[in-house]
Structure 1
């Protein structure tokens, strides 16, 4: 027969050995500490009254706060780009556009598109743009920038739909107390990307990290205790 007092005493001694558990300034237990104690007492009584028990642990995703380093998700800015870049207008669009950030392209187009409030005409020529933005070497850059920005807007909208979908799936599983892992987030994202025709989306580590930071999702260890009572055995 298991004695609950003996188990409680052993636990007290075990945790007393931990320096982090000692706080001489706390004389009155907090409400949270009382809740934990009551919960553990119920669990201990269930184990003592049972014929046998099984403890299972697994890691699942959950809502967390301040547990993911924000710095890991920062995208490189213009400082990492080649300021001496000297492209011609005949190069491949994909390789060409990778030389510039989306923000830089937007600044160029906004500067070029600014209109005179009196005449309604564009205030600046492409030559003025090239003088203001030294990395814009040819007028054709403007049309390429504009096209990329328009596509980027559409892509951003699709990614927002994808992220909302994945988060909704996560929330639904979380509300049902179902375990969720990184693989599940990626699988949901890839399925939605296929549906939205986001062909270049691969659910990379970078996307996963950014997604978890945005929605404050992290890992938690879940412990499940199953007890088998004498009544269950008789049945």
Structure 2
């Protein structure tokens, strides 16, 4: 293929689509042109080419900007996948145990006394939830952590190693697969759970353009005599 002919027709298509504008070329436009030229050079010795475009989830880089969806997700930081107050975000299991121990030692203590001693306690509902959480010995948090670890392993394998496209539906399937392994019937791979996973691991959706070219290899011959 002749690269100049491709470049000329590309210019013709661009002018037909966006019109002609005589303006100074910006630095980022020069950089984009240089990248496009590197792509164009891959066509030089090819006899077949195909542009393949697809959407996929991908690890973010320093050029990615946070979307409004990410900002809205901040509202659910303190809630788990069932919409309940997520105690693990503000209290460790040890903190909960220490608070419950003190409350049990002072059964007549009023809420004002409790909240004055433990500043993060906002209502007596916290005490009830602490007891429930301690009774379960943090199993919900542990299982949720295992599910997210499995999701990350599968995502990394499919996207970074095998270079397959991955979508939210795939993340949901990974979560369900691990949930069944853990026998956690109450778990729901909700949208908020998936968004939380993506935000924690800096994963976002993007469009990928992949160019496939085929070239004719030049045969090389060598002599057994070393000539």
Offset of residue 61 of structure 1: 1.5
Q: CA deviation at 1:229?
A: 6.3
Q: Superposition RMSD on alpha carbons, in Å? A: 4.2
Question: Which ranges of structure 1 fall in alignment gaps of 5 or more residues?
Answer: 79-97, 116-120
Q: How many residues align?
A: 196
Structure 2 residue 42 is matched with structure 1 residue 60: no
Structure 1 residue 185, shift from structure 2 partner: 1.0
Aligned partners of 2:100 and 2:131 also within 8 Å? no
What CA distance in whole angstroms lies between the structure 1 residues aligned with 2:98 and 2:189? 32
Instruction: Name the residue aligned to 1:113.
Output: 101
Q: CA deviation at 1:110?
A: 5.2
1:221 Cα offset (Å): 2.2
Could you tell me which residue of structure 2 aligns to residue 73 of structure 1? 73
Distance in 1 between the 2:190 and 2:34 partners? 43
Show the 5 A alignment for 1:50-199.
50=47, 52-64=48-60, 65-68=64-67, 69-75=69-75, 102=87, 111=99, 113-114=101-102, 122=105, 124-129=106-111, 132=114, 136=124, 142=127, 145-151=130-136, 153-174=138-159, 175-199=161-185
- Per the normalisation by structure 1, the TM-score is 0.62
Structure 1 residues 125 and 27: alpha-carbon distance in aligned structure 2, compared to 1, 3 A threshold: closer
Q: CA deviation at 1:102?
A: 3.2
TM-score, with structure 2 as normaliser: 0.64
Counterpart for residue 118 of structure 1: none
- 1:165-221 per-position Cα deviation (integer Å, ceiling 9, x unaligned): 110111011222122122211111101011122221121111111111111112222
- Encode CA deviations 1:92-125: one digit per residue, 9 max, x unaligned: xxxxxx6x6637996887555349xxxxx94x33
Show structure 2 runs of 5+ residues with no match: 79-83, 116-121, 218-227
Whether contact under 8 Å (1:105, 1:145) holds in the other structure is: no
Distance 1:62 1:143 in 2: 40
State the alpha-carbon separation in 2 of the partners of residues 211 and 144 from structure 1: 24
Distance 1:152 1:41, change over 3 A: farther
